[in-house]
Amino acid sequence: VETRPDPGRERRKGAPEIIFGETKETAQIIEMAQSLLASTGRAIISRLPPQSLVPLQEAFRAYAVSIREPSRSMVIYSPDYVRKSTGGHIGVISAGTSDIPVAEEAAIIAEEMGCRVTCIYDVGVAGLHRLMRPLHDLISDDVDAIIVAAGMDGALPSVVAGLAPVPVIGLPTSVGYGMGGKGVAALLSMLQTCAPGLSVVNIDNGVGAGITAALIANRVAQAREHQSQ
Amino acid sequence: VETRPDPGRERRKGAPEIIFGETKETAQIIEMAQSLLASTGRAIISRLPPQSLVPLQEAFRAYAVSIREPSRSMVIYSPDYVRKSTGGHIGVISAGTSDIPVAEEAAIIAEEMGCRVTCIYDVGVAGLHRLMRPLHDLISDDVDAIIVAAGMDGALPSVVAGLAPVPVIGLPTSVGYGMGGKGVAALLSMLQTCAPGLSVVNIDNGVGAGITAALIANRVAQAREHQSQ
Amino acid sequence: VETRPDPGRERRKGAPEIIFGETKETAQIIEMAQSLLASTGRAIISRLPPQSLVPLQEAFRAYAVSIREPSRSMVIYSPDYVRKSTGGHIGVISAGTSDIPVAEEAAIIAEEMGCRVTCIYDVGVAGLHRLMRPLHDLISDDVDAIIVAAGMDGALPSVVAGLAPVPVIGLPTSVGYGMGGKGVAALLSMLQTCAPGLSVVNIDNGVGAGITAALIANRVAQAREHQSQ
Amino acid sequence: VETRPDPGRERRKGAPEIIFGETKETAQIIEMAQSLLASTGRAIISRLPPQSLVPLQEAFRAYAVSIREPSRSMVIYSPDYVRKSTGGHIGVISAGTSDIPVAEEAAIIAEEMGCRVTCIYDVGVAGLHRLMRPLHDLISDDVDAIIVAAGMDGALPSVVAGLAPVPVIGLPTSVGYGMGGKGVAALLSMLQTCAPGLSVVNIDNGVGAGITAALIANRVAQAREHQSQ
Amino acid sequence: VETRPDPGRERRKGAPEIIFGETKETAQIIEMAQSLLASTGRAIISRLPPQSLVPLQEAFRAYAVSIREPSRSMVIYSPDYVRKSTGGHIGVISAGTSDIPVAEEAAIIAEEMGCRVTCIYDVGVAGLHRLMRPLHDLISDDVDAIIVAAGMDGALPSVVAGLAPVPVIGLPTSVGYGMGGKGVAALLSMLQTCAPGLSVVNIDNGVGAGITAALIANRVAQAREHQSQ
Amino acid sequence: VETRPDPGRERRKGAPEIIFGETKETAQIIEMAQSLLASTGRAIISRLPPQSLVPLQEAFRAYAVSIREPSRSMVIYSPDYVRKSTGGHIGVISAGTSDIPVAEEAAIIAEEMGCRVTCIYDVGVAGLHRLMRPLHDLISDDVDAIIVAAGMDGALPSVVAGLAPVPVIGLPTSVGYGMGGKGVAALLSMLQTCAPGLSVVNIDNGVGAGITAALIANRVAQAREHQSQ
Amino acid sequence: VETRPDPGRERRKGAPEIIFGETKETAQIIEMAQSLLASTGRAIISRLPPQSLVPLQEAFRAYAVSIREPSRSMVIYSPDYVRKSTGGHIGVISAGTSDIPVAEEAAIIAEEMGCRVTCIYDVGVAGLHRLMRPLHDLISDDVDAIIVAAGMDGALPSVVAGLAPVPVIGLPTSVGYGMGGKGVAALLSMLQTCAPGLSVVNIDNGVGAGITAALIANRVAQAREHQSQ
Amino acid sequence: VETRPDPGRERRKGAPEIIFGETKETAQIIEMAQSLLASTGRAIISRLPPQSLVPLQEAFRAYAVSIREPSRSMVIYSPDYVRKSTGGHIGVISAGTSDIPVAEEAAIIAEEMGCRVTCIYDVGVAGLHRLMRPLHDLISDDVDAIIVAAGMDGALPSVVAGLAPVPVIGLPTSVGYGMGGKGVAALLSMLQTCAPGLSVVNIDNGVGAGITAALIANRVAQAREHQSQ
Ligand SMILES: Nc1ncnc2c1ncn2[C@@H]1O[C@H](COP(=O)(O)O)[C@@H](O)[C@H]1O
Ligand SMILES: Nc1ncnc2c1ncn2[C@@H]1O[C@H](COP(=O)(O)O)[C@@H](O)[C@H]1O
Ligand SMILES: Nc1ncnc2c1ncn2[C@@H]1O[C@H](COP(=O)(O)O)[C@@H](O)[C@H]1O
Ligand SMILES: Nc1ncnc2c1ncn2[C@@H]1O[C@H](COP(=O)(O)O)[C@@H](O)[C@H]1O
Ligand SMILES: [Mg+2]
Ligand SMILES: [Mg+2]
Ligand SMILES: [Mg+2]
Ligand SMILES: [Mg+2]
Ligand SMILES: [Mg+2]
Ligand SMILES: [Mg+2]
Ligand SMILES: [Mg+2]
Ligand SMILES: [Mg+2]
């Protein structure tokens, strides 16, 4: 069965094709990565199955391979690939330590789309004092959009959206057990937010959050760019 | 069909019988109220149907009748009834203005159980600065338990439970539309709280929250009482 | 019971306070609107109950009142109020005619936040040929963000996000009956999108979509602005 | 415990009995397959458990065994079995690569029921341009019914049903994570379709989609047949 | 706000545009009906709001108006409109009397698409003996597809699909109370059918069932037609 | 941690205590079984974890041990235990082969409560002709209550309850995948039955169905008994 | 549209046909009642719409009409109709006063099936002492089956099933608000019972509970009868 | 990735930081435990993954390590750590044996917060007589709050809250299969309680129940303390 990665997506959409590793065989992933490397010079893989990790490293020994644990993401670069830098600036905030893998997935995508990314982790509502200072700094540092990853009660994105004058993207994570667990309460609470300017992506969809934030930041950066010319 | 209000509940449980008005005919409510007035000197009615309001006022013209809008609650006292005062202190906080009717229902029950009640309304997470000062004052004023009513995102109870060193009772309200609306997201977010010491009651159950908080406060007050003797 | 509209929100957040009319008495709405007019020169009301319409028109006869049917929204301006114009550009697309009231709610908010808004209505997936031309024009006209309102199958936002190189905000509407009706299937389908750069708000939350899109567009416009200076 | 495969089903219903492998022991499957081979000359097994694969190949070494990965389906033929060819024509389209196993399950059943099957895979809404040409060819080639397999947003079947003048069968697949994942959003979106002439089967039920499409195509083919005589 | 009924749908899809009355103002419906009458000579309206009935009859006094109670459907014909007759044959079966309005909605659409329709009502599983004879006659009369409408337990479509050698379309109705009520159990039971060749449409979607069945029957009829020439 | 099996239950309730094996350690099960053997001469274990099977056989080598595959149930008898025979008669019907393990669990309990049990398996609605004869025989043989086990569509219990003049107990099984899978559609369809005299137990609760049916049959048998004296 | 009440049901099933009033026009109900009166001498109507009450009384002025408020049920007898008396004995227990209408519906059906019915109302778990004495008397009075109606927490049926040595039928009622309201928690709690011998019917299905209990009691009574001959 | 355990929580909230083991690597847990030991002299770990048990024992060989099976909790003390004793008294009741692990988790936390804890296990509603005596003793022994752990039907907390004059905390456990299984029915039944003074925490959240109960008891004890001085 053949696969069709979409090399034209970056040009068309401003966002690269990303290989969704989870439901694929190692051989399929390798084939798709080779195809993308040939056409675009880079292959990004998300939700890489653990058992595919070593075979992929073997297969792409001749390439620069970047693995960012604990996000289960991998990026492979052709020797001559130069990642662009757009000037966009993204903040990525996590409520707990368990939300970090998903937060990192978002951060990686935003970086691959050329953004500068500032991460602030483990500052959830059980101890809000930890949030205030770094959030203030982030805003002062002219952040273009903020991603807030949270599981369990999902309260942090609403708190941040009540404070920061930029678009906030709620990123629920599948952390939590019992009723409303696995991110359901977090997602619903974000959808029900009473704070202005919070939009959401699905549970654990770091890729979607990263692309959205980067599309925003890159558009702003492009306008800024024109300005400085 | 006969009704059986339970006059012994206050003695047995420390919480009075309360007439749940919603599914009852006006005649049934009057009959039950008369029975409770005869045995305990007071009748408390919650979720009173609008059409029963005037007939009840008529029927109990000879009594002291207290109606606390917008909570749909009514309390009727025998002429010689003296409400006890236990010395317990309860805080009732609401996130939005729409949560006030349910918050008031809780406050009324706690007062009828002899507690002093301090209310702080409309201090939700879209503007957290409004919360800090009055919450600090409440804690300094030796509050025994805090009820936090919130609909929509339900984030405020988790924030309060992260800050206050007393038992917090989350009271979700049926405010909000769309997915997770009618209090569902609020309840789930409270159940998933990552803050310590937050327990919950069902959506719009101001009665349940009021009784729980008052049972706590009265027990503390009783111990305090013994002390001051 | 007192109400506390938040006049500082526009300065703090870049988005104005909006009076949520649905659960409020007419008198409460009038009071809040007067307070906001006094402090900011404008009052925006969403989800206005039909029975409040005439009393509000009466109450604000001395003001410029803008009512945009069928969105159930009203904006009241002080005589000397001048709406700012930021230079941001938003597209609002609807799948069916039944989605227009919610789409209009989003458009109004974005306009009140100073954006130019282009609307394209009734171009759903049952006849995709209707979408192609106006979407192409919209992109050529340098749109900063696109809101796509859709009920029932909710397929249109994914189609648009697959074609347009700007952030897309999915706005599910409560149109549809049977299983997945009232916007549930639409919201879930948008959350599950396989197209890049689509974030969502809750069902019928035109206000949330409008604020998010305008925050994006205004940030881009501000950068553009600096450039043209 | 005895099993009762139904050899008369093909004659009675026009659709063969199919052994549902998932919840059966290897021995049970072998016994049922032998029984069907004896009575009808063919045994079709769906959702074959991986551990049953080799034992079944061993057991039926003397037969023609067709295994079509990645669908987990197996067909065993008696040496003298000749598959009929009805002249019916079915299209099977998949949105993503992950939907292919379920799409293949449908294709196999339709082929075993005598249809010609044309497959078009990986043409989802994130890149609709890939769909247009092959869909046009399929319609020109007088297809009698089209099955569209899609997970995640489930938007493709509505798009196809908006374009093709034949019955479309939506086949949701259990692809996707988070809220509405495992095919739920896809199924609901198909049920809520605003395109005409789309009916659905349950998530991952390739067998049901294949039988339905083949019943349609075979009835049309039979009428055509009569014509050409 | 303008409306865009799609007159080309019949030519493109083989199924006519149908005005969904439920969420529309009377004036909107009249305008759309006039537009369709002008272009195609016929306007079909489903789920007509009761209050629109008389105004519509008034507005189209000069036309042939067919109202088929209890289905809430209306068809308006230009004086010179001649409904085609394709030769397709559809069966419509209902389990209970409460399912008849939805069954009738399906029957009307199939008739407007040129099919002959045979109805068998009130033959549910509480008395299966009532089904056997008329079902047998229907099959003998060369029916091309059968729609089975059922609420509550939704068992009848599976029974019919186990007996009839033609495609069966399950049409769940919103009949039933308690858990699984309003058609949910019926729909789920049909999706879980263990009988071959049953596909489904959403709860109360008589329009969808009618179009699907008629598309099948008309394709068969067209092949038959060619034959008889 | 100590366990407290309830030896008095049979005397008090007419139904024996049953050890729920699923969530227990092997050592706990052995200890509880020994306790019940000592007090009542018999120990019944349901949902025995596979890994506990051999250790339990070892531990009770000196006893009569009855294991009835595929139900995951075990009964251990003291050497001198004599099972009573009440004269009650139960029918147990299953729709598919996959429902047999749960049906068997019900049969075992009814036998241990002294009933005669007649089993009819694999007679679901995809081939109703298989049901008619044995059901007729069962009724002629004076059955006191009938248990019908079904997964997937859950249609068979409604069909049987429409035909048999005795109480029918619907026993949904966790067979089926996709929406409404794992027994959900089956349970809901049974709850929504339009046939008279069908009550239900939870999914896979063969124990509950067996006890209910045996309580009915034993009460009838006892009345019969008195008669024959 | 014609209706087909089933006069043979009582003979075939031992339970009479019952007209489900809720979704029917008054004229339809009258027609069906007339048909049943003609064939069986009695017509039973459940869930009678309030607006049909007076017209029905008018229509059947010449008959004995029994209306049992608050159950929304009506029974009409031919002048010469004599209700049989089987000797079966049913208990009907309700947890609260709000559950009484549904409990009464069950009681009426059991009486019409010839049983003696003993009712015990308003004895829920908030005051279990009220239950013990009357339950003990009921068991001593040789009750054959017990129906327990409960909304909200649904705990009472499990308590009764833990105490009474006869089959218990759980009858959840749609009493309760918030999460798990409208009978959902009650039904689920009954399905999850850890007490032996409890089967359930759907929420508010008093008819189903009454028929099931009466089928049990009548079968026992019949055996008793034979005995006394 | 760094972790930030919150040593100041006990001082600020009166409840210690607890390491949530479930989603953490062994190395992370060790690091967090070391940090807490250094700052507070004690580390509490809940939901410890089985594979982390031995490495943790190794790592903290020099400390006093308390493991309380079957709760999956571990407490590590510095050699000189002295646990405070507040004088608060908590009762922990479980319905079944399967609920004990969660009940124990609650008991451990309450003890670590200085309370005396009395446990009463396996006294569910299938045999209520077992409950009465020990519950009476508990109340006589001046218990300050009672936790009731129950899965399946979740009926016991309502029964206890109907009898005991102290705050009751419902602790649903994930015991039970089928619809409403894994604690869902138990939680909903508790939320729907008709008994006064019952608040709840999420399914399996022994930590939350323990902290809430201990906050109550410690506040009472502190008042008592002052008294005795
Ligand atoms: N239609 C709407 N949907 C969602 N949020 C809204 C809407 N209209 C206003 N709001 C927000 O909800 C808040 C109203 O809360 P309150 O009036 O205190 O109940 C306002 O401050 C707005 O930010
Ligand atoms: N993959 C499948 N999905 C749905 N139904 C199936 C599948 N494979 C077989 N079946 C049907 O399910 C029935 C299997 O029932 P049984 O083998 O008795 O449990 C067969 O008669 C087939 O008609
Ligand atoms: N398979 C089963 N399904 C439902 N209930 C059961 C089952 N097996 C045993 N039981 C009941 O559940 C109780 C077991 O509770 P425990 O062992 O204390 O957790 C027993 O007393 C039985 O009455
Ligand atoms: N078993 C548990 N259930 C619920 N919350 C817990 C549990 N154990 C620890 N916690 C809380 O959850 C927080 C852990 O968050 P983190 O370790 O940052 O993911 C701690 O601060 C505790 O307050
Ligand atoms: Mg943390
Ligand atoms: Mg407010
Ligand atoms: Mg349209
Ligand atoms: Mg692809
Ligand atoms: Mg009927
Ligand atoms: Mg079978
Ligand atoms: Mg009561
Ligand atoms: Mg036990």
Residue of G nearest to F212 (CA): G197
Q: Model confidence over H108-124: pLDDT tens digits?
A: 999 999 999 999 999 99
Which residues in chain B are contacts of H216 at CB distance < 8 A? 167, 216, 219
- Domain encompassing residue H35: 17-77
Q: Quote the mean pLDDT of chain A.
A: 94
Q: Same structural domain for residues B95 and B198?
A: yes
Calculate how far, in angstroms, residue F182's C-alpha sits from the geometric centre of ligand 10.
Answer: 17
Based on the fold, state whether residues G103 and G205 are members of the same structural domain.
yes
CA distances from H132 to H10, H116, H150 (A): 36, 21, 17
pLDDT tens by residue, E53-83: 999 999 999 999 999 888 999 999 999 999 9
pLDDT class of F227 with cuts at 50, 70, 90: low
E205 and E107 in a common domain: yes
Interface probe with E: pick from C130, C177, C184, C204, most Cβ of E within 10 Å:
C177
Total number of domains in chain F: 2
Do G57 and G157 share a domain, yes or no?
Answer: no
Give which of E188, E190, E198 to mutate to test F binding, by max F Cβ within 10 Å: E188
In a domain, H155, yes or no: yes
CB B187 within 8 A of CB B54: no
CA gap A203, F215 in Å, rounded: 48
- Of the pLDDT bands very low, low, confident and very high (cuts 50, 70, 90), residue B229 is low
For strands C73-77 and C64-68, give the pairing.
antiparallel
Q: How far apart are CA A12 and CA A38, in angstroms?
A: 18
Residues E100 and E200 in one domain: yes
Look at residues G18, G62, G58 and name the one whose alpha carbon lies nearest to residue G40: G18
Q: What is the ipTM of this complex?
A: 0.95
Task: Please spell the DSSP secondary structure of A87-137, one letter per residue.
Answer: --EEEEEESSGGGHHHHHHHHHHHHHTT-EEEEE-S--GGGTHHHHHHHHH
The answer on F71 and F105 residing in a single domain is no
Nearest to B125 among A124, A152, A195 (CB): A195
Q: Are E168 and E157 in contact (CB under 8 A)?
A: yes
H195 and G CB contact within 8 Å: yes
Residue F98's closest chain D neighbor by CA?
Answer: D23
D187-221: burial string, b at 16+ Cβ within 10 Å, e else:
bbbbbbbbbbbbbbbbbbbbbbbbbbbbbbbbbbb
Task: Report which ligand 1 atom has the smallest distance to the Cα of B99.
Answer: 19
Whether residues D66 and D99 fall in one domain? no
User: Chain A within 8 Å of D121 (Cβ-Cβ)?
Assistant: yes
Taking each helix axis from N to C end, the angle separating H206-228 and B206-228, rounded to the nearest 10 degrees, works out to 30
Q: Do E189 and F193 touch (CB under 8 A)?
A: no
Gap between the terminal Cα atoms of chain E: 49
Specify whether B176 is located in the same domain as B118.
Answer: yes
- Angstroms from G196 CA to nearest CA on chain F: 6
Q: What is the distance in angstroms between the Cα of A3 and the nearest Cα belonging to chain D?
A: 6
Question: Which residues neighbour ligand 11 (ion) by CB within 5 Å?
Answer: G 96, 122
Q: Residues, chain B, total?
A: 229
Is A138:A70 a contact under the CB 8 Å cutoff? no
**Cβ contacts of B179 on chain A, cutoff 8 Å:** 188, 191
Is the predicted pLDDT of residue H226 greater than 80, yes or no? no
Give the residue from chain C lying closest to E175, CA to CA. Answer: C178
Looking at residue E73, which CATH number applies to its domain? 3.30.110
- Structure tokens of G62? 């010449």
Of F14, F165, F228, the CB nearest to G165: F14
CA–centroid distance, residue E29 to ligand 7 (Å) = 12
Range with the poorest average pLDDT among A12-26, F215-229, G108-122, G192-206: F215-229
β-partners of residue E150 are E172
Q: What is the DSSP code string of E14-52?
A: SS---EE-TTS-HHHHHHHHHHHHHHHSEEEEES--GGG
Q: Which two tokens stand for residue G219?
A: 């079968």
Answer for the pair H97, F28: CB distance below 8 angstroms, yes or no. Answer: yes
Give dist(CA H151, CA H171) in Å, integer: 9
Q: What percent of chain D has pLDDT over 70?
A: 98
Instruction: Tell me whether residue H83 is in a domain.
Output: no
Helices assigned H by DSSP within E113-155: 129-140
In a domain, F114, yes or no: yes
F41 within some domain = yes
CATH number at residue D60: 3.30.1370
Instruction: Count CB-CB contacts under 10 A for residue B158.
Output: 33
pLDDT tens series, chain D, 229 aa: 567 788 888 888 999 999 999 988 899 999 999 999 999 999 999 999 999 999 999 999 999 999 988 899 999 999 999 999 999 999 999 999 999 999 999 999 999 999 999 999 999 988 888 899 999 999 999 999 999 999 999 999 999 999 999 999 999 999 999 999 999 999 999 999 999 999 999 999 999 999 999 999 999 999 998 765 5
Of residues F122, F180, F181, nearest to D4 (C-beta): F122
Q: Is the pLDDT of residue G3 over 80?
A: no
Query: Largest Cα–Cα distance of chain F, in whole Å?
Result: 55
- State the DSSP string of B37-93: HHHHSEEEEES--GGGHHHHHHHTTTSEEEEETTTTEEEEE-TT--------EEEEE
* H38 has pLDDT over 80: yes
The pLDDT tens digits for D176-220 are 999 999 999 999 999 999 999 999 999 999 999 999 999 999 999
Q: How far apart are CA G212 and CA F167, in angstroms?
A: 6
Which amino acid type is present at position F88? G
CA pair distance E89, E103, nearest whole angstrom: 15
CA B222 to chain centre: 20
- Angle, alpha carbons E69-E71-E72 (nearest 5°): 85
Q: CB-based contact (8 Å) between A122 and chain B?
A: no
Q: How far apart are CA B155 and CA B161, in angstroms?
A: 10
pLDDT at residue D158, rounded to an integer:
97
Residue E62 or residue H3, greater confidence: E62
- The lowest-confidence range among B25-29, B85-89, B146-150 is B25-29
Report the candidate in C107, C98, C17 with the shortest Cα–Cα distance to residue C68.
C107
pLDDT score of B8: 83
Q: How many CB atoms lie within 10 A of CB A119?
A: 18
pLDDT higher than threshold 60 for residue H229: no
- Decide: D127 and A9 in contact? Cβ < 8 Å: yes
Which residue's CA is the nearest one to ligand 3's atom 18? Answer: H96
pLDDT of A200 strictly over 80: yes
Residue range A14-39: mean pLDDT, rounded: 93
Residues F38 and F146 in one domain: no
Task: Measure E210 CA to ligand 7 centroid, in angstroms.
Answer: 19
- Residues whose CB is less than 8 angstroms from the CB of residue B49 and which lie 6 or more positions away in sequence, other chains included: B21, B22, B24, B26
C180/D189 CB distance under 8 A: yes
C2: left (phi > 0), else alpha (psi -120 to 50), else beta? beta
Position D127 in a domain: yes
In a domain? residue A61 = yes
Answer whether D200 touches E (CB < 8 Å). Answer: yes
Name the residue at shortest CA distance from atom 8 of ligand 2. Answer: D20
Calculated CA dihedral for residues H221, H222, H224, H226, nearest 10 degrees: 160
Nearest CA in chain A to H173: A178
Which two three-digit tokens encode residue D127? Answer: 């890149």
The yes-or-no verdict on residue A5 having pLDDT over 60 is yes
Whole-angstrom distance, CA of residue B24 vs CA of residue B30: 10
Residue type, E98: S
Ramachandran class of E12: left when φ > 0, alpha when ψ lies in -120 to 50, beta otherwise: alpha
- Picking from B178, C150, E34, C137, the residue whose alpha carbon sits closest to that of residue A188 is B178
Q: Quick check: is C3 in a domain?
A: no
Choosing among F13, F20, F199, which should be mutated to test the G contact, i.e. which has the most G CBs within 10 A?
F199
CATH code of the domain in which F184 resides: 3.40.50.1970
Contact between A110 and A217 under an 8 Å Cβ cutoff? The reply is: yes
Distance CA B138, CA B5 (A): 36
DSSP state of G14: S
Residues F103 and F40 reside in one and the same domain: no
Q: Is F182 exposed, middle or buried (0-12, 13-18, 19+ CB in 10 A)?
A: buried
Q: Which of C123, C158, C179 to mutate to test the interface with D (most CBs of D within 10 A)?
A: C158
Cα gap C7→F21, rounded to integer Å: 63
pLDDT band at F4 (very low <50, low <70, confident <90, very high): confident
In the sheet that holds H64-68, the strands lie side by side as H19-20, H42-46, H73-77, H64-68
CA angle (H27 as vertex; H22, H33 as ends), nearest 5? 75
Task: Give me the residues paired with residue A93 across strands.
Answer: A120, A148
Residues B71 and B95 in one domain: no
User: What ligand 3 atom has the least distance to the C-alpha of F15?
Assistant: 23
**Is the predicted pLDDT of residue B228 greater than 90, yes or no?**
no
- Nearest Cα of chain H lies from the Cα of B3 at a distance, in angstroms, of 16
DSSP code of residue H91:
E
Q: D94 and D73, same structural domain?
A: no
Q: Specify if A62 maps to a domain.
A: yes
Question: Does D96 contact C178 at a Cβ distance shorter than 8 Å?
Answer: no
pLDDT in tens, G13-58: 899 999 999 988 899 999 999 999 999 999 999 999 999 999 999 9
Closest CA–CA distance from residue F33 to any residue of chain H (Å):
15
The model's pLDDT over G122-175, given as tens digits with 9 standing for 90+, comes to 999 888 888 999 999 999 999 999 999 999 999 999 999 999 999 999 999 999
pLDDT of amino acid E2: 60
**Residue at D87: amino acid letter:** G
- Is residue C71 lining ligand 1, measured as CB closer than 6 Å? no
Answer yes or no: do G3 and E97 touch at CB < 8 A.
Answer: yes
Say yes or no to pLDDT of F21 above 80: yes
- Report the distance separating Cα G10 and Cα C194, nearest Å: 57
Q: Which chain E residue has its CA at the smallest distance from F189's CA?
A: E153
C128–D163 C-beta distance less than 8 A = yes
Strand ranges, E, within F69-192 = 73-77, 89-94, 116-120, 145-150, 168-172
CA D8–ligand 6 middle distance (angstroms): 69
Cα separation values, H193 from B20, B116, G126, H188, H189, Å: 13, 26, 9, 9, 6
Give every CB contact of residue E92 below 8 A, 6+ residues apart in sequence: E103, E106, E107, E110, E117, E118, E119, E120, E146, E147, E149
Q: b or e along D92-122 (b: 16 or more beta carbons within 10 Å of the residue's beta carbon)?
A: bbbbbbbbbbbbbbbbbbbbbbbbbbbbbbb
Q: Please tell me the distance from the alpha carbon of residue A90 to that of residue A116, in angstroms, as a whole number.
A: 6
**Which H or E element spans position C184?**
helix C184-191
Minimum distance, in Å, between the CA of residue G220 and any CA atom of chain B: 31
Q: Which residues of chain C have pLDDT under 50?
A: none
Question: How far apart, in Å, do the first and last CA atoms of chain H sit?
Answer: 49
In the block, which residue shows the tokens 């339990």?
A: F56
Structural domain ending residue among the three candidates H77, H103, H118: H77
For residue range B173-209, list pLDDT tens digits in order: 999 999 999 999 999 999 999 999 999 999 999 999 9
Q: What are phi and psi of B26, to 5 degrees?
A: -55, -40
Q: How far apart are CA H203 and CA H186, in angstroms?
A: 8
